[in-house]
Amino acid sequence: MKDLIRRAAKDLLASKRVVALTGAGISVESGIPPFRGHGGIWERVDPMVFGHIDTFARDPGKVWRVLIRDLKDIIDHAAPNDGHKGLARLEAMGLLSAVITQNVDGLHQAAGSRDVLEFHGSCAWQRCMDCGEKVRTRDVDIAALPPRCPCGGVFRPDWVFFGEAIPAAALQRSRQLARGCDLMLVVGTSAIVHPAAAMPMMARDAGAIIIEINPGRTPLTGAVSDYLIKGGAGMVMNALIAELETLTL
């Protein structure tokens, strides 16, 4: 692992446009469960039912009770971990241009990352389905579900449900970043949900180095990524930052 950390630090220093693609795994050490695997959200909730816009449109109160209320509670109280902080530090060191995240928890921004593209939207904000008013999720009164805007409309998370399109601007900029980077860090994603999972392939096809940080293998491993640094995001990012500081001193 030490060799791979050194290799990644050297690759980062030799690169000019570095982009990170992150997934639920980077927030696991902040106490937010991933979607898949042991203890994952989709183990207890069927994504094609409760993660789908059609179900929300039919019965928003039920989706709030089964899925969103718990997530709101976890996200309201979560704080960034060393994985998020490490990426923010890379940006501050001038070694990372942007983060494309599939996460909806707002923890990259809380850690200090400035250029964050929320590919699947955000659960830190709610949007009124009638008037479009946006409010912070932590300020929404959930005594009655679904919560409602003063105009009477239902509040929905400002995220992308299954059955909805990725916001055009986010999709376009992510593609630009993927095609234009010379190194992509892929952190804590199972890399199976498209179109986000296509970003590493796009970057690789444009000639970028792809480095995965994940405790387990993914479909990218050995196929799209150049190498996998096996481990939790916090531990790996701490080791990487320490190595970069040694090399640049």
CA distances from 13 to 77, 93, 95, 165, 187 (A): 35, 10, 7, 36, 18
Contact range with ligand OAD by CB under 6 A, out of 25-33, 55-63, 70-78, 147-155: 25-33
Rounded to the nearest whole angstrom, what is the least distance from the CB of residue 83 to ligand OAD in the complex? Answer: 6
Indicate which single residue of 30, 97, 102, 126 sits in contact with ligand OAD (rule: CB under 6 A): 102
Q: Which positions ≥6 away from 243 have C-beta within 8 Å?
A: 5, 6, 8, 9
Contact range with ligand OAD by CB under 6 A, out of 54-62, 150-158, 172-180, 212-220: 212-220
Active site residue 84: no
Closest of 177, 137, 180 to residue 156, by C-alpha: 137
Closest chain position to ligand OAD (CB): 25
Among candidate residues 38, 108, 120, 194, the one labeled active-site is: 120
Nearer to ligand OAD, 25 or 200 (CB): 25
Burial tier of 26 (Cβ tally within 10 Å: 0-12, 13-18, 19+): buried
Closest of 85, 76, 134, 123 to residue 237, by C-alpha: 85
Query: Rule CB under 6 A: which residues touch ligand OAD?
Result: 23-26, 28-29, 34-37, 40, 47, 51, 102, 120, 160, 162, 188-190, 193, 214-216, 218, 232-233
